[in-house]
Structure 1
Amino acid sequence: MQPYFFPYIGYFQLVADVDRFVFYDDVNFIKNGWINRNRVLADDGNRYVTVPLSGASPSLKIRDIQIQPRDIWLRKMLESIRHAYAKAPHYAAVSQLIEQCLSAPVAQISTLASQTVVDVCKYLDIATEFVASSTQFGNSELKGVNRVLDICAKERARIYVNLPGGRDLYDDKTFRSNGVELAFVEPNLSAYPQFDHAFQPGLSILDVLMFNSKDRVREMLSVGSGS
């Protein structure tokens, strides 16, 4: 998966369901995606929190795109999150996690986005191993399913797990002929209390963490895995 910024719960279900997770950081950047932004709760529904980028372009790889200096955006983002969640039951602990993630001295959005995933997993005691595609496999010339299968071969993987969007991209027979089982995780978008708001599904994992204990979140991550 591409490294996403504090992604939604389905992304973390995928992470929790596997032994080793590959950040696809050497593929082309997609504008208006989830690499540098996500959604949090707002009085009128939800709103985006966004990490501003420098020179972002679909012609560049994710790993080559820089974030703008933190003094431009960090305080505003933290204030937006505080405004949304200051009265949430787990705000104190989760706000510390957020500041830890966003204050780390990294310059590339791929590193920052990846770190948000890794740090949330540490917070939840998820022991999945992480690797970046740009540093491990040396196969960036391959495309689509051919690259996925090459990574599976190099990892000696028996099962490749993806989110439902992969159903339109990958064919079970192709994977089986290469000795790999293809499986999918079904995102758990079950409702939970969000103050007195009508439930807003699919927000950033931050929303889930603000309103649910660690144990409850781990239970939520186990629903719909590996089917």
Structure 2
Amino acid sequence: WWQRFRSTLAQSYRRAPFYEETQAFLEPIVSDGRGPLLPFLLQSIGAVAAHLEIRTPLIASSAIDPEHRSRGQERILALCRHEGAAEYLNLPGGRTLYDPALFRHRGTELRFLVPREQPYPQLGGGWSPWLSIIDLLMHLGRQATRAELARCDIATPRADHCS
């Protein structure tokens, strides 16, 4: 799969302004993607975070609850309790999945990342929002991608409704 992925990256982005910079960063990650998926994903996320100077610990939920005793919202709350999390930050798509009142009742503030749509030049003209971090890195480079990530807002939903 990693060779297909590398080929797809080259076909999709070889004319992007920061292709060489991003490809040089991604190559060791992608070429190491031959083992089990979970360690690869954790390593990939960690490498991208480090590349963007985002310092945060990464923990596989299976390391905390290997038997997957809980699911969905209850699983997230159990993980937050285990880690002593005062807040849980989720992507905007989770607004319909989680009950802010229940999170607050359990001692964790539920918040949502709200990216601001900021068009940037992409290959082929036009604008396709909300692609991947790789798309941002290929078109904007490391420093501008960091600045783009800093533009996100954080919203706290009202406890009586979640949309």
What TM-score bracket applies, with the shorter chain setting the length?
Answer: 0.7 to 0.9
Equivalent position to 2:112, from 159, 178, 184 = 184
Q: Which residue of 1 is the match for residue 52 of structure 2?
A: 124
Partner of 1:225: 153
What corresponds to 1:23 in structure 2? none
SS at match of 1:117: helix
The match for 2:16 among 85, 88, 100 is 88
- Which one of 26, 31, 37 corresponds to residue 109 of structure 1? 37
TM value normalised by structure 1: 0.62
TM-aligned CA distance change 1:144 to 1:182, over 3 Å: same
- 1:77 deviation in Å? 3.0
Note the 1:135-150 alignment, pairs <5 A: 135-138=63-66, 140-150=68-78
Identity of aligned residues (%): 32
Cα 1:110/1:189, change in 2 over 3 Å: farther
Say whether residues 1:78 and 2:11 are aligned partners.
Answer: no
Whichever residue aligns with residue 101 of structure 2, its letter is K
Calculate the TM-score normalised by the size of structure 2: 0.84
Q: 1:108 to 1:225 in 2, by over 3 A?
A: farther
Unaligned runs of 5+ in 2: 156-163
Structure number with the higher strand fraction is 1
Corresponding residue pairs, total: 155
Query: Structure 1 or 2: larger helix share?
Result: 2
**For the Cα contact (< 8 Å) 1:139–1:147, is it kept in 2?**
no
Correspondence for 2:138: 210
- Measured on the aligned residues, the alpha-carbon RMSD in Å equals 1.9
Q: What letter is aligned with 1:191?
A: P
The residue type equivalent to 1:182 in the other structure is L
Note if contact 1:94-1:209 (Cα within 8 Å) is conserved in structure 2.
Answer: yes
Gaps of 5+ in 1: 1-50, 52-69
